[in-house]
Amino acid sequence: MSDHAGKIQVLGVQEIKREKIFKLRFIQGRNPKWIDIPFFAEYAPKATWFNQHKPAFGEEKFFFEDDRYKLIDTKPFLFE
pLDDT value, residue 40: 96
Residue 46 has pLDDT above 60, yes or no: yes
Q: Answer yes or no: are the C-beta atoms of 56 and 40 closer than 8 Å.
A: yes
Q: How far separated are the first and last CA of the chain, in Å rounded?
A: 27
- Specify if 66 maps to a domain: yes
pLDDT value, residue 49: 86
Please give the Cα distance from 73 to 24 (Å, whole number): 24
- Specify if 79 maps to a domain: no
Structural domain boundaries enclosing 61 = 2-74
> What is the H or E stretch that residue 66 is in?
helix 65-74
Q: Mean pLDDT throughout 17-31?
A: 92
Structural domains counted in the chain: 1
What are the residues whose beta carbons fall under 8 Å from the beta carbon of 12, sequence distance 6 or more? 22, 23
Taking the whole predicted model, whether its pTM rises above 0.85 is answered as no
- Specify if 80 maps to a domain: no
